Amino acid sequence: MIILAYLAGSISSAIIICKIKKLPDPREVGSNNPGATNVLRNTNKLTAAIVLFFDILKGVIPVWGAYFLGIEPIAIGFIGVAACLGHMYPIFFGFKGGKAVATAFGVLLPIGFTLGGLLIVTWIFVAKLTRYSSLAAIVTVSLAPLYTWMIKPSYVYPVFMLSALIVFRHKDNIQRLLNGTESKISIKK
């Protein structure tokens, strides 16, 4: 399951969808990050929404599958981390991937829709308040273990592992936030 989750995570929807739609490769424009935020900045909302959907799905499918197979929470955590590592370091795309925020959301969604709702509300609140997608992601994943503890405590340790991985992947963003050089997102009504 860990290998399958990694391979699923390695399918870069941003690169594939942009190639199908004859749009610029997200690894070569903007932040050079093959993720939904960079696709939004460089293409359009529909394309970014499609990328977001498939990035979430590649986190949901392996974790939900593991859950239905009766795999223990800590092992499910490793499966979720594998899906995110696949997104970050995809074997099919030269090990150069994205930050795995949407994939991590997909990994966490099977824990419960309440958790999913809390994560969405947190991300939107921080993004609207600060206009930094990276800061919204960092705050959201940092609060994910707390939210999980309130909803399904048996999943706290796997969620903590995933959160630490996502925060680590944002180390360059954290440095840019501290320096005041991080790009803001445009949120329109």
Please tell me the total number of residues recorded for the chain in this structure: 189
At residue 183, the pLDDT reads 85
Mean pLDDT of 160-166: 92
Is 34 in contact with 58 (CB distance < 8 Å)? no
At residue 20, the pLDDT reads 94
Average pLDDT, the chain: 92
By percentage, how much of the chain surpasses pLDDT 70? 98
Alpha-carbon distance of 173 to 108, in angstroms, equals 22
Q: Please write the tens of the pLDDT for every residue from 68-115.
A: 999 998 899 899 999 999 999 999 988 989 899 999 999 999 988 899
Query: Does the structure show a pLDDT above 90 at 128?
Result: yes
Q: Please write the tens of the pLDDT for every residue from 30-39.
A: 888 898 988 9
Neighbours of 102 (CB within 10 A): 26
At residue 33, the pLDDT reads 87
At residue 37, the pLDDT reads 84
**pTM of the full predicted structure?**
0.89
CA proximity to 77, closest of 59, 91, 51: 59
Quick one: pLDDT band at residue 189, thresholds 50, 70, 90?
very low
Mean pLDDT of 169-188: 86
At residue 65, the pLDDT reads 95
Query: Does the structure show a pLDDT above 80 at 21?
Result: yes
Query: DSSP secondary structure string, 110-166?
Result: GG-HHHHHHHHHHHHHHHHHH--HHHHHHHHHHHHHHHHHHH-GGGHHHHHHHHHHH
At residue 121, the pLDDT reads 97
Quick one: pLDDT band at residue 186, thresholds 50, 70, 90?
low
